[in-house]
Structure 1
Amino acid sequence: MTEMITADLVDLELDQSAETKEAAARSLAERMVALGRVSDLDGFLADVAAREAQMPTGLDGGIGIPHCRSAHVTEPTLAFGRSARGIDFGAPDGPADLIFLIAAPAGADDAHLTILSSLARQLMDAEFTTALRSARSAAEAAALISGDAAAAEETGPAAAPETGTGIGTGTGIGTGIGTGIGTSTGTGTGTGTAPETAPETGDGSGADTGAEEPFRIVAVTSCPTGIAHTYMAAESLENAARDAGVEITVETQGSAGFARLDPAVVAAADGVVFAHDVPVRDKDRFAGKPTVDVGVKAGINRPAELIAEVREKAARGETSAPTGGPTSGTSPVDTTGDSGDGYATKLRKWLMSGVSYMVPFVAAGGLLIALGFAIGGWKIDKAPSVAEHFVWTDHTSWAALLFQIGGLAFAFLVPVLAGYIAYGMADRPGLVPGFVGGSVAVTINAGFLGGLAAGLLAGAVVMGIQRVRIPAVLRGIMPVVVIPLISSAVVGFLMFLVVGKPIASLQSALTDWLEGLSGANAIILGVILGLMMCFDLGGPLNKVAYAFAVGGLAHPTDGSLKVMAAVMAAGMVPPLAMALATTVRGRLFTKTERENGKAAWFLGASFITEGAIPFAAADPLRVIPASMAGGAVTGALSMAFDCTLRAPHGGVFVVPLIGQPLLYLVAIAAGVCVTTVVVVLLKGARKAPPGEARAAEEKAAAEEKAGAEEKAGAGAAADIKESATAV
C-alpha cells in the first residue's frame, strides 16, 4: 500500500480547513489532484457525493470513509485526515475524527481492491486507530496506514504498540496474539499463547464445553461499492466470533469478486449471517440453516448481537426455507437496507422489485406494438393471426407479426409485476403464486391494480407458510410441491372470489374516469404526473407514475393514451433541460457536467430521465425543483393539447405514433425552456465562497489563456506554412 498513500496525502489538522464532510472530501481530494492521482476534482467529488447519497460512510468509533470508484481517478489512492473537532459523516455515535478518502479507478484491478480491503479490515482494530490518533507526523501516519512497520518505528514509538496486534508488513495489522504479550511480525500472530479462534475448553462465555465442537458460522458481506464496508463487516464479525469462542468463515462479495466458500464448510456450518446491501450471490447454498439477514452496517456496528441471534435461532431449531426464503419474516428485498426499515420502506422496495422486472416487458412489447401500428396502420389490431395467414411480400403481414409478438410480450405485464413483487417479499417460492395471481387479475380484468394486489397477497401467503415449523423429513418437498400448491390455491381463491372483483370494479371506474377527463381536470392530472416524473428522476415516484401510465395501455382508451403521452413528455424534460443549460450557460457548470450535458441530449430525446441524475446528485436543491417546474408545465400542456401516445417508450423516435405530434413537441420544448431558465437563475444566484469564486475565476482565466495561446500557436503555424509555400 506504500504507493497508495504518502505523507503528502495526510492532513493531521483537517478541521482547520474543513468543517463539513463535503469540505473534508474536497480538501483531501485536492491533495490527490496535486499529485496527479485525480484528473478532475469536481467530477471526482460528484462521484464521491453520489456514493455518499447511497448510504452514509460514517462508522462507529469516530471513523469516516468517503470512497468511490471513478473514471477521474488515475491510480488507486488513499488520503487521510485527522480532525480534532470531528466531522459528521452520518455515524450513529457522532462525528468522525479519522477520515479516509479512498479513490479507486473505474477499472481498478483485483490487486488494488484487495489492498483497499486490507485497510478496511485494519479500521476494525482499536489499537490501529489509537496509533493513528497519537501519530505525531504525516509521515508516521502514512507509514502506519501503509503497513510499513520499519518506517513507523523510525518516526515514533506510537507506531509500534508493545502489546496486542502489530502493524504487519504488506497485509496490514494482524489477527491477534491470544493472551500472551509480545511483538507482532508478518501476519501479526505474535508469540503469546494459543489463539482464541477455536478454544479447546469452555471459557464461561456461553460457547460449547471442551468435549463439544465449537459453534460454526458462515457469513456473507457485501455493499454497493464493494470496497470498504464489505471488508469492515467481515473483520468485525471475525473479531466478535473470536471473542465469543465461535468459528466463523466469511465470504466477502466485493468489487474484486469473491472466493466462494468451500461447500464442505457451508455444509458443516451451524448458522448463517448475511450482512449485505446488495443481493447475496448464489444464496441457495445456505438454505435450510438458521439465518440472520441484515444490512452491512449492522455487521460492522453490532456483530456480537448477530452472532448471539443466530445461535438463539439454532437453539430453537428455526431455519430458512430450502430455497433460501426466510422463515422469520425477512426477505431479500427487506435486507437491501438496514434491518430497522419500516413497513412503508419495505412496501416501496417490494413494489419497485416488481416494476423493475416489468419494465423490459413493457419496453419490448410496447415498442413492437408501436412499430406494428407505424407500418400497418391503426387497423392492424384487426389482422388475422400470422400463424394462419402470412404473406412474405406483404408489409401488412410483417406489421401484423410485429404487433402480435408485441401483444404477447405485453400480456406478461401484470403477471410479471405480481410475480416479482412476491419474489421481492418471499424469494423464489413467491414466483409461482405471484404469476398465478397476476394471471387471474388479467382474466377478471382487474388490470394493473389487480397485479399489485396479487403480488402482495402471494408474498404474504408464502411468508406465512414459511413460518410454520415442519419436520426435517418434509423440507425437501416444500419448495417444489407444498409451497407452490398451497400458495397458488389460496391466492387464486382470494383473487377470483374475494378481492379480485372489487379491484376489477375499481379498475373499471378508473378507466371511465380517465376516459372522461377534459378541461381543468385533465390539466391538473398532467401537472401531478409531471411533478412525479421529475421529482426523483427515475426513482420510486417516477416509476409509480410510469407504471400507472403503462397499466392503461393494457386496455387502451383515449384517456389512458393521454396519460401515457403526458408521462413520457414530462420524463424527457430534465435531461434535455440540463443539456440546454450546459450549452447556454456553461460557466455555471463543471467540466464534467458540461461533458454529461452532451450525452443528456440523446438520453432526454430517448425518454431516459436518469440522464439528469449526475446534475441532481451534484446540486439537488437547484436541479430538482427546476426539473419539477418544467415537468409540470409539459404534463399540463400535453393534456391540454389532447396529445395521445400508444407506445410506452421511445421518446422523439416514436413521434409518428403520437396524436397531435407538433403540439406534443411544443409542450416538451416549453417544459425544457422553463427548467433551463429556472436552473440557470438558481445557479446564477448562488453566492460562492470567496475562495471558491476566486478559484473558479482563476480556472476560467487559465482556460481562456490556454485557448488564446493555442489559437495564437495555430495562427503562427499557419503563417510559417504560408511563408514556406511562398518560398
Structure 2
Amino acid sequence: MSLITAEQVVLDLTGADRHEATRALAERLVATGRCTDLEAFLTDVRTREETMATGLPGGIGIPHARSAAITEPSLVFGRTGDGIDWGAKDGPANLIFLIAAPEGGGDAHMQMLPKLARALMKKDFKAALAAATTEAEVVDLVNEQVHLDAPAAPAAPAAPAAPAAPAAPAAAAPAAATAAPVAATATATATGATAAPAPAVAVSAPAEAETARALRLVGVTSCPTGIAHTYMAAEALEIAARNAGHTMLVETQGSAGSKPLSAADIAAADAVIFAHDLPVRDAARFAGKPTVDVGVKKGISDGPALITRAEELAREWAADPSKARAAAAAPAGGLVSKVEDDASTATKVRQWLMTGVSYMIPFVAAGGILIALSFMLAQVALGEQGAIEITKYGLTAEGNYNIAQNFNPVSLTSWAALLFVIGGASFGFLVPILSGFIAFAIADRPGLVPGIVGGSVAATMGAGFLGGLATGLIGGFIARWVSGWKVAKGVRGVMPVVVIPLVSSLLTIGLFITVLGRPITALTNGLNDWLTGMTGASVILLGLILGAMMGFDLGGPVNKVAYAFATTGLAAAGTAADAPQLKIMAAVMAAGMVAPLAMALATTVRPALFSEPERENGKAAWLLGLSFISEGAIPFAAADPVRIMASSVVGSAVTGALAMWFGATLRAPHGGIWVLPLIGNFLLFLLALVVGVLVMASLVVVLKSRDQAREVIEATATV
C-alpha cells in the first residue's frame, strides 16, 4: 500500500497558522481511514512541535509524530503559495509534508520514511513538487523517491564497504543510513574535542579542496522522534562531504531500525560529526577522534560549515598527535547519566533515582549471586545448617575460619567462604554506589565524592537505602550549587579537585550525621521490622501490588518503581536465607516475566487473533520473557493497549501474590529462568509464574475473541 494517495494531496493548502494547516492535512488521513482519532493525533503532533520546530530551511515544513491514532505509515502533502510560518529561521514554508507513523514504529514500511526525508534535500525534487499541477503528479513524484519495495540502490550494498571507500562516496554514504539506536550523554568531553560550527556557513575554497587530502568522516544524527530530521541531517552531511571531496558514513538513530557503524569504519575515520538532539549511546566508541558536536538542525542547515570544521580539526589533530592520545586515554563517556535536560521535575527525579539504581545493580548482581552460590556450596558441605554456618567464615575470623590464612582449594567449605566474603564485599558497596550516582545524575562528576562518601556514612549508621537516597539527593544538589559559584580566575583550577569535593562533602555528610541520619535510620529499622513481621494476607497484598506495578507499563516508570524497590531492598537483606527482601525480589522478577510469556503463549494457541507481525513478535517473546525482559510485550500493548495492559496487570498481580505466599526467594536482581538454581523454593516460583501466564493469556484470548465476534456480528448486520 502506498504511503500517499491523491486524496492525501492538498495543492492549495490554507491556514492562519501551522496548527490550522496541520489540522487540514490530518483531516485527509481521517477521510482515507488512516487516522482513527483526529484530536489525539493532532495532540501528538503539537507535542512534537513543542519539542522542536519542524520547519526547515528552503521553505519546507515537516510536521510529524508517532501516534496510537495512526493505523499505518502515511504522508499528506500540502502546498501553499503565501507560505505558512513553520519555525524555520529563513522564512515560511511552502511545501509541507505531514508524516504520520503508528505508535509502535516497528512496521517495515517505516523504513520508507527516511527516504522521503532524504528526497526533501534534493533541489530537483522540491522544484518538481512546486511545479506540479495535479494531485496524481505529486503522488507519482513521491512514489518515485519513496518505494515500498525497498530498492537495492539506497539500501544494503555499502554497510560493510567503508574500508573500500574513498573511491565510491556515492555508494557508501546512503548505506550508513541504517544505524544503531542511541541514547547516552553528549560527547563533547567523550571525544576530547568539540566545536560548534562557524557563525557563518563557510565552504572550503576550490583550490584548497583540490589540494587537500580526501578525508574519511563518520557521523551520528538523531532527533526526538527519529522520523525526519534524523535522516535529513544525514543526507545533508553526506552531500556536503561528497561536494568537498570526502567520504562520509552516518549512523542514523531513527524509527526505521538501524545498524551501527563498524569498529573498522570508526577506526579509519579522520573526524566525527554529531548532529543530534538525543544523547549518543556508546560515545566511547569515538574516543580519540576529533569531534564536531551540534544539534540536528545544524546538520541540516549548515552541512558545509560542519564539514569545514571537521577538516580543520582533522588537520589540527594530525599535526598534534598528543590530542588524540589524551582523548583516547580520557575516561569520558564511561559514566553516563540518564537525565534529560528538558524533562519535567517529576521525570528528572525518577531519572536521578534510576541512574543510581542502574549503576548499583551490577554490585547487587555480583554480590547476590556469589552469596547465593556460597550458600549452595555450604549446604552441600555442611548440611542444612550450611547457609547459617558460612556466615562465620571471613578474612578476620581466627583459626580455621580465616580463609586468607587457611584456604583449602579442595574444600567446598573454603570455596563457600571465599564466595561469601567476595559477595559480602560487593554488597557493601550498594548504598554508596546508589548514593554516588544519584548525585552524579544531578551534578555530574562533582557529585560523586559527596554522594559516595555520604552513602558510605549512611550505610555505617544503618540508614540503608533510604539513607543512600537522602545523601545522593543532598550531595548532588550541594555539589551543583558549589559548582555554580563565580570565583576568581586563580581559584578555578582548584575548584573541581579541592573546593567542590571538600565543601560538598562537609555539608552533605555533616547535615546527615547531625540532623537526618537518626530519623532515617529509625525509619529504615521500622520498614525492615514491618517487612519481617508480614504474614498471611499482608504478604499476599504486597505481592499483589508489586506484581500489578510490574505488569502495568512493561518497563515504564511504574514498572521501574517496583523494580527499584526490590533491588534496593536487597541491601537490607543481609545474609539471612529467608529475608523478606529476597521474597520481594523473587515476586517482582516472576511478575515481570508474565507479560511477554503470556503473549507468546496467546499467539501460539490462538494465532488467528493476531496479525502476522504480532505472531512473529510472539516467537521472540518466549526468550524475552524467560530472560525477565518485560519490554517483550510492548509491541502488543502498543497495538492494543486496553486489553493487553488490563490482562497484564491481572496476570502479573496473581504471580506476584503467589510468589510471596509461596515464600520464593531470590538474591540476583535479574536473569529470569537463567538464575533458577539461585531461587529459593524454585518449583513454587515456577508454579506462580505458570499460573500468572495462564491467567493473562486466557484473558487476552477471551477479550480479543469477544471483540472479534462482535465485529463479525456488526458487519453481518449491515449487509
The interval holding the TM-score normalised by the smaller chain is: 0.5 to 0.7
1:535-581: CA deviations, max 9, x gaps? 12223222221221222222326322322222122122112212221
Which residue of 1 is the match for residue 392 of structure 2? 382
Which residue of 2 is the match for residue 372 of structure 1? 374
Structure 2 CA distance, aligned partners of 1:133 and 1:445?
77
| Code of the aligned partner of 1:540 | P
What pairs with 1:505-544 in structure 2 (closer than 5 Å)? 505-544=522-561
| Code of the aligned partner of 1:139 | D
Which residue of 2 is the match for residue 360 of structure 1? 362
Structure 2 CA distance, aligned partners of 1:376 and 1:434?
36
Structure 1 CA distance, aligned partners of 2:32 and 2:369?
43
Which residue of 2 is the match for residue 63 of structure 1? 62
Structure 2 CA distance, aligned partners of 1:233 and 1:614?
28
1:411 counterpart = 2:428: yes
* Cα offset, 1:101, TM superposition: 7.3
* Cα offset, 1:18, TM superposition: 7.0
Which residue of 1 is the match for residue 317 of structure 2? none
What pairs with 1:301-700 in structure 2 (closer than 5 Å)? 333-335=338-340, 339=342, 341-377=343-379, 378-379=387-388, 380-385=390-395, 386-556=403-573, 558-687=579-708
Aligned residues: 537
Structure 2 CA distance, aligned partners of 1:366 and 1:21?
58
Structure 2 CA distance, aligned partners of 1:105 and 1:366?
40
Distance 1:388 1:686, change over 3 A: farther
Which residue of 1 is the match for residue 228 of structure 2? 228
| Code of the aligned partner of 1:99 | I
Identity of aligned residues (%): 47
Structure 2 CA distance, aligned partners of 1:22 and 1:549?
48
Distance 1:10 1:373, change over 3 A: same
What pairs with 1:121-200 in structure 2 (closer than 5 Å)? 137=137, 138-141=139-142, 197=201
Distance 1:196 1:298, change over 3 A: closer
| Code of the aligned partner of 2:140 | A
Asked if the contact 1:120–1:231 (Cα under 8 Å) also holds between the matched residues in 2, the reply is no
Asked if the contact 1:293–1:335 (Cα under 8 Å) also holds between the matched residues in 2, the reply is no
Asked if the contact 2:221–2:250 (Cα under 8 Å) also holds between the matched residues in 1, the reply is yes
| Code of the aligned partner of 2:222 | S
Question: 3-state SS of the aligned residue for 2:447?
Answer: helix
Asked if the contact 1:13–1:84 (Cα under 8 Å) also holds between the matched residues in 2, the reply is no
Structure 2 CA distance, aligned partners of 1:275 and 1:602?
33
Structure 1 CA distance, aligned partners of 2:32 and 2:683?
45
Distance 1:524 1:8, change over 3 A: closer
Asked if the contact 1:533–1:542 (Cα under 8 Å) also holds between the matched residues in 2, the reply is yes
Asked if the contact 1:441–1:450 (Cα under 8 Å) also holds between the matched residues in 2, the reply is yes
Q: Which moved more, 1:630-639 or 1:524-533?
A: 630-639
| Code of the aligned partner of 1:228 | A
1:144-170: CA deviations, max 9, x gaps? 889xxxxxxxxxxxxxxxxxxxxxx99
Asked if the contact 2:364–2:668 (Cα under 8 Å) also holds between the matched residues in 1, the reply is no
Distance 1:646 1:358, change over 3 A: closer
Question: 3-state SS of the aligned residue for 1:445?
Answer: coil
Asked if the contact 2:65–2:225 (Cα under 8 Å) also holds between the matched residues in 1, the reply is no
Distance 1:504 1:575, change over 3 A: same
| Code of the aligned partner of 1:383 | Y
* Cα offset, 1:132, TM superposition: 7.5
Question: 3-state SS of the aligned residue for 2:670?
Answer: coil
* Cα offset, 1:419, TM superposition: 1.7
Structure 2 CA distance, aligned partners of 1:280 and 1:607?
24
| Code of the aligned partner of 2:684 | L
Which residue of 2 is the match for residue 164 of structure 1? none
Structure 1 CA distance, aligned partners of 2:467 and 2:119?
50
RMSD: 5.6
Asked if the contact 2:129–2:141 (Cα under 8 Å) also holds between the matched residues in 1, the reply is no
Out of 19, 24, 29, which is 2:29 matched to? 19
Which residue of 2 is the match for residue 304 of structure 1? none
Which structure's relative contact order is higher, taking Cα pairs within 8 Å and 6+ residues apart?
2
What pairs with 1:240-255 in structure 2 (closer than 5 Å)? 254-255=252-253
Distance 1:665 1:24, change over 3 A: same
* Cα offset, 1:365, TM superposition: 2.1
Structure 1 CA distance, aligned partners of 2:424 and 2:131?
66
Out of 75, 78, 82, which is 1:81 matched to? 75
1:88-138: CA deviations, max 9, x gaps? xxx9999975338799999x99xx999777446569x99897568987603
Distance 1:502 1:234, change over 3 A: farther
Structure 2 CA distance, aligned partners of 1:354 and 1:324?
19
Asked if the contact 2:609–2:704 (Cα under 8 Å) also holds between the matched residues in 1, the reply is yes
Structure 1 CA distance, aligned partners of 2:418 and 2:250?
48
1:257-294: CA deviations, max 9, x gaps? 6999x99999xxxxx99843556947999xxxxxx999
Question: 3-state SS of the aligned residue for 1:99?
Answer: strand
Structure 1 CA distance, aligned partners of 2:590 and 2:73?
45
Structure 1 CA distance, aligned partners of 2:580 and 2:133?
65
| Code of the aligned partner of 2:5 | D
Distance 1:345 1:17, change over 3 A: closer
What pairs with 1:250-261 in structure 2 (closer than 5 Å)? 254-255=252-253
Distance 1:22 1:421, change over 3 A: farther
Which residue of 2 is the match for residue 30 of structure 1? none
Asked if the contact 1:565–1:638 (Cα under 8 Å) also holds between the matched residues in 2, the reply is yes
Structure 1 CA distance, aligned partners of 2:431 and 2:132?
57
Structure 1 CA distance, aligned partners of 2:378 and 2:120?
60
Structure 1 CA distance, aligned partners of 2:131 and 2:711?
37
| Code of the aligned partner of 1:487 | S
| Code of the aligned partner of 2:441 | G
Asked if the contact 1:120–1:229 (Cα under 8 Å) also holds between the matched residues in 2, the reply is no
Distance 1:485 1:661, change over 3 A: same
Question: 3-state SS of the aligned residue for 2:486?
Answer: coil
Asked if the contact 2:364–2:567 (Cα under 8 Å) also holds between the matched residues in 1, the reply is yes
Structure 2 CA distance, aligned partners of 1:678 and 1:585?
12
| Code of the aligned partner of 2:565 | F
Question: 3-state SS of the aligned residue for 1:582?
Answer: helix
* Cα offset, 1:689, TM superposition: 11
Structure 2 CA distance, aligned partners of 1:477 and 1:235?
44
TM-score, structure 1 as length reference:
0.60
Distance 1:502 1:622, change over 3 A: same
* Cα offset, 1:619, TM superposition: 2.6
* Cα offset, 1:361, TM superposition: 2.2
Q: Which moved more, 1:579-588 or 1:590-599?
A: 590-599
Structure 1 CA distance, aligned partners of 2:631 and 2:364?
18
Which residue of 1 is the match for residue 315 of structure 2? none
* Cα offset, 1:511, TM superposition: 0.4
Asked if the contact 1:220–1:274 (Cα under 8 Å) also holds between the matched residues in 2, the reply is yes
Distance 1:564 1:9, change over 3 A: closer
Distance 1:492 1:636, change over 3 A: same
Gaps of 5+ in 2: 10-25, 37-43, 81-85, 148-169, 175-198, 204-218, 238-248, 254-259, 288-292, 302-329, 380-386, 396-402
Structure 1 CA distance, aligned partners of 2:468 and 2:132?
56
Structure 2 CA distance, aligned partners of 1:409 and 1:133?
71
Question: 3-state SS of the aligned residue for 2:407?
Answer: coil
Distance 1:140 1:126, change over 3 A: closer
